Chains A and B, each alone.
Chain A
Amino acid sequence: MTALAPAVRRRAPRMQGAATPWLFLAPALAAAVAFSLYPFANTVLLAFTDARTLSPGTFTGTDNFVRMVEDHRFWLALRNGGLYVLGVVPPLVLLPLLLALLVRDKGPGVGVFRTLFYTPVIASAVVVGLIWTWLLDSRGLVNGTLQALGAISGPVPFLTDEYLLLASAMLVTVWKGLGYYMVIYLATLDRVPKELHEAAQVDGAGAVRRFLVVTLPAMRTTMALISVLSAVAAFRVFTEVFILSGDTAGPGGRDITLVMLIREVSSGLDGNVGYASALSLVLFALTLFLLLAVLRLQSGASAPGRAGAAGRGRR
């Protein structure tokens, strides 16, 4: 870039060169400032006030953050967010890869499966949540079937037990996310050089072995990307828990997530906008932290990576 810049400048008049990129950028920048940067800055300011929906509020320093530390629902939300990340990220990194391997080769009927696996992704989260609610309800299909088979005596409280509800929501999140991440994997799978597979085959590696030493290392960057995407999404989960718990935060509010808490605190005519803004800031910081942590973990694992060493040894 630095080598090219003077050459460009010599050809074009200075003013023209300086203004043009900004003119091109202006509409996008204006939109970003109006709809992202400004609301963000506003949220930062409001976090230090006692603003309500209908009153502008006054500066209250760090009161909102002190209140947060004392708010047991905030800690519950953090716990649930953490559990959600732990429960959802591993399956969302591994299962779509297996699915992608299944439907990678073009054969008769594969297109149908690809489409089927992708369908939940385009379905509305609310519709999906409602369908699963009917399935998991105490009188729903799953409990009905299990009871008819005599597998259980009373209904399993999928939607009314603190942990089962969270697990059910995770199941929905994973089920709904599979297809999306599968497509990302499919795109990367096509880029793995065939020669590597052939070389491994010649060396006598079976299908499992080839998956471990050829496919998996080639997928590392994609896996990192998917862990980041799914972890951030998991921490900010709202719809699945909200719908499965019947628009509440689970029995006794024990399944609340940070986004649900923000919504509950801020909504309505007496919404506490200041406190909600402070919670949003914390969510933002935590998301950022999660992003950096996952990226760091992944880069740490791939730098002197074991698979890399194995690859070298093989050659």
Chain B
Amino acid sequence: MRTPATRAAAALAAAVLTASGCGLAAPGTGGAGEGGPVDGPADGAITFQTWNLKAEYEDFFTGVIEEFERANPGAQVRWLDQPAEGYADKLSADAAAGTLPDVVNVAPDLVHPLAEAGMVLDLDEARPGAAGAYTADAWEGFTVPGRDGTYAYPWYLNTGPVFYNRALFEEAGLDPDSPPTTYDELFDQALEMAEATDGGTAMLGQTPGIIDLGLYGSQAMNEDGTRFTFNDAAGVEMVERYKELYDAGALVPESLTQDYTGAGEQFMSGAIAWAPGSAYDLENFRTNAPDLYKNVGITEVITNTGRAHMYLQGLAVSAKSEEPATAAAFAEFVTNAANQEAFAHEVQIFPSTKGSLDDPYFTEEDGTDEGRVRVAAAAQLESATSYTPVVFGDQMQNLLRDEIALAMRGDKSPQQALDDAVDRCNALLEEG
């Protein structure tokens, strides 16, 4: 047999293959990523990717797409929808392979790495004048620190009331008609509840994350967005207060390892009494936790800053798009005032277009629970801001949760835990 020769050939082949495709080669160029305005007729075929919207809103989006195709002869939109889980992984796989869909649903923290890698269009440059249609805050939401430009069209906004379980409040001897309105009241009542139920019912289900620290008055980053600063006095104070709550049983033990979803499930099962949510959770309670729905109380978000948190979704246009004009036109169409307002009637979200929130739909209660939540949330949006820096990615969120868990367990002091979290986040930021 000619084993050695064959082996050598195989090794050579493998080496050649590896070198050619090992990822060290420059990423492909071409498409629209050259800068400058993007205009021209919207008559190409594009792909449009949403994030977990097909299951519930298929009819709505099919209608929007048909309308766009009718108005722009020749244009063809293929709609893709991705499940809620693993969306960032899906995006990164697409982006790395150079197959990012032409129009992509993103949140600010997702658009940041895409912008850094030059994968999405700078809309200030590509579509001058587009900004005028949206509120200034929303447009600002898709800027990236250290770079000029805006990298996605603002789409829908959300902000949440807080839900609480009236039955659990009553059981603990608390007044369900006057829920806490300040952090002091919340923490005191949480301690009372833990004592009254002998640790059986916890008020809270989650340790503070970056948003909670922000609402408490901590500054996540310095002015120019180059260093993290959430280990300031306010941040440390909040973690110290939570440590007290944890020791008293006012915070469920699972809070050390669970995220928003886990806490939400515990609220639905009646394990915790207080859960920040968003306006569309109410519908979820009605169908999945009817017992809770009967007892659910709704109140305003507690802040020390007077500004609630705002969640923001957007549509980015791939810089590698073969049909950038069609893609940009379609993204503008989906996010225009008429379509955003129509979408807001489908589901409890809020439009980011100028003037849309003045519609009586968002300003006048109609006697339903949903109406009440909607009007309250819309009012809250007036002053709301995003407390999550766009550079604060998944890894940073996880390490903050881990450091705070160590503080809760008493392995570190709150100050030490936050100092370490800041150091580790800064190290990731430098690498980034």
| Inter-chain contact A53/B409, CB cutoff 8 Å | no
B256 at the interface (CB under 8 A from A): yes
Q: Is A296 an interface residue (CB 8 A)?
A: no
Kindly identify, within residues 209 to 258 of chain A, every residue whose CB is under 8 Å from any CB belonging to chain B. Answer: 245-253
- Is B24 among interface residues, defined by CB-CB distance under 8 A? yes
Is B17 on the interface with A (CB-CB < 8 A)?
yes
Q: Does B411 lie at the interface of the complex (its beta carbon under 8 Å from any beta carbon of A)? A: yes
Q: Report how far A33 CA is from B14 CA in the complex, Å.
A: 8
Question: Once the chains bind, are B23 and A57 in contact (CB under 8 Å)?
Answer: yes
> Which A residues from 18 to 56 make CB contacts under 8 A with B?
18, 33, 37-38, 41-42, 45-46, 49, 51, 53-56
- A54-B113, A252-B405, A252-B406 given; A271·B398 CB < 8 A: no
What separation, in Å, do the CA atoms of A54 and B28 have in the docked complex? 12
Q: Which residue of A lies closest to B262 (CB)?
A: A246
> B428 to chain A: which residues have CB within 8 Å?
270
Inter-chain CA distance A248–B254, complex, in Å, is 11
For window 50-72 of A, CB contacts with B under 8 Å fall at 51, 53-57
**Interchain CA distance A57-B24 in the complex, whole Å:** 6
In the bound complex, do residue A270 and residue B22 qualify as a contact, i.e. CB atoms below 8 Å apart? Answer: no
- Determine which of A53, A160, A245, A250 lies in contact with B253 in the assembled complex, contact meaning CB atoms within 8 Å: A160
Q: Does A269 lie within 8 Å of B88, measured CB to CB?
A: yes
- Quick check: A270 and B14 within 8 Å, CB to CB? no
Report the minimum CB–CB distance from B207 to chain A (whole Å): 10
B25 contacts across to A, CB distance below 8 A: 56
CB under 8 Å from chain A, chain B span 368-414: 393-395, 398-399, 401-403, 405-406, 408-409, 411
**Complex interface: stretch among B60-68, B114-122, B214-222, B344-352:** B114-122
Which residues of B sit under 8 angstroms from A45, Cβ to Cβ? Answer: 18, 22-24
Set of chain A residues within 8 Å of B411, measured between Cβ atoms = 252
Q: In the complex, are the beta carbons of B409 and A269 less than 8 A apart?
A: no
Interface of chain B residues 225 through 257 with chain A (CB within 8 A): 252-254, 256-257
B357 CB to nearest chain A CB (Å): 31
**Is the CB–CB distance between B257 and A160 below 8 Å?**
yes
A311 CB within 8 Å of chain B: no
B203 CB, nearest partner CB in chain A, Å = 15
B268 at the binding interface (Cβ < 8 Å): no
The proximity string for B residues 2-28 relative to A, scoring 1 for CB distances below 8 Å and 0 otherwise, is 100000001001110110011111110
Flag whether A155 is at the interface (Cβ < 8 A). Answer: yes
Is A280 interfacial (CB 8 A cutoff)? Answer: no
Say yes or no: is B146 at the interface (Cβ < 8 Å to chain A): no
Indicate if the CB atoms of B119 and A246 lie closer than 8 Å: no
Binds A, one of B73-81, B90-98, B128-136, B305-313: B90-98
B259 interface residue, CB < 8 Å from A? yes
Structural contact, B113 and A53, CB atoms closer than 8 A = yes
Q: How many A-B residue pairs have CB under 8 A?
A: 128
Q: Contact: A56 with B253, CB < 8 Å?
A: no
Contact, CB under 8 Å: B17 / A38: yes
Set B253, B259, B393: member contacting A247, Cβ < 8 A: B259
- Report the Cα distance A137→B252, complex, angstroms: 11
Given A42-B21, A250-B257, A252-B405, verify A55-B89 contact (CB < 8 Å).
no
The answer to whether A269 touches B402 (Cβ under 8 A) is no
CB distance from A69 to the nearest CB of B (A): 16
Residues of A within 8 A of B40 (CB): none
List of B residues within 8 angstroms of A85 by Cβ: none
A172 vs B88: C-alpha distance when bound (angstroms): 30
Interface residues on B, range: 35 or more
With A56-B27, A138-B254 as known contacts, state yes or no: A268 contacts B114, CB within 8 Å. no
Q: A157 interface residue, CB < 8 Å from B?
A: yes
CA distance A270 to B398 in the complex (A): 14
CA distance A247 to B263 in the complex (A): 13
Do A252 and B409 have beta carbons less than 8 Å apart?
Answer: yes
Kindly state the separation between the CA atoms of A250 and B408 in the bound complex, as whole angstroms: 13
Determine if B398 and A253 form an interchain contact, defined as CB atoms under 8 angstroms apart.
Answer: yes
Partner of A54, one of B2, B117, B258, B394: B117
Q: Is the CB of A159 within 8 A of B91?
A: no
Asked whether any CB of chain A lies closer than 8 Å to the CB of B367, the reply is no
Task: List, in ascending order, chain B residues with CB within 8 A of A53's CB.
Answer: 92, 95-96, 113
**In the complex, what residues of B have CB within 8 A of residue A57's CB?**
23-24
Q: Assess the A251–B405 pair: CB atoms within 8 A.
A: yes
Q: Please, how many angstroms separate the alpha-carbon atoms of A54 and B110 in the complex?
A: 12
B residues within 8 A CB of A270? 113, 393-395, 428, 432
Closest to A44 in B: B18
What are the residues of chain A within 8 A of B394 when measuring CB–CB? Answer: 267-268, 270
Give the residues from 258 to 298 in chain A that come closer than 8 angstroms, CB to CB, to chain B: 264-265, 267-273
Whether A42 contacts B22 by the Cβ 8 Å rule is: yes
- Asked whether, in the complex, the Cβ of A248 is within 8 Å of the Cβ of B398, the reply is yes
From A49, A252, A253, residue with most partner B Cβ within 10 Å: A252
Instruction: Report the 7 A-B pairs with minimum CB-CB distance, sorted nearest first.
Output: A54-B117, A253-B402, A269-B113, A252-B406, A251-B256, A252-B405, A160-B253
Q: Which residues of B line the A interface, CB within 8 A?
A: 2, 10, 13-15, 17-18, 21-27, 88-89, 91-92, 95-96, 110, 112-114, 116-117, 119, 199, 252-254, 256-259, 262, 271, 393-395, 398-399, 401-403, 405-406, 408-409, 411, 428, 431-432
17 pairs, CB–CB < 8 Å, chain A vs chain B? A42-B21, A45-B23, A46-B22, A54-B92, A138-B252, A138-B253, A157-B253, A160-B254, A249-B402, A251-B256, A252-B256, A267-B89, A267-B92, A268-B89, A269-B112, A271-B92, A273-B23
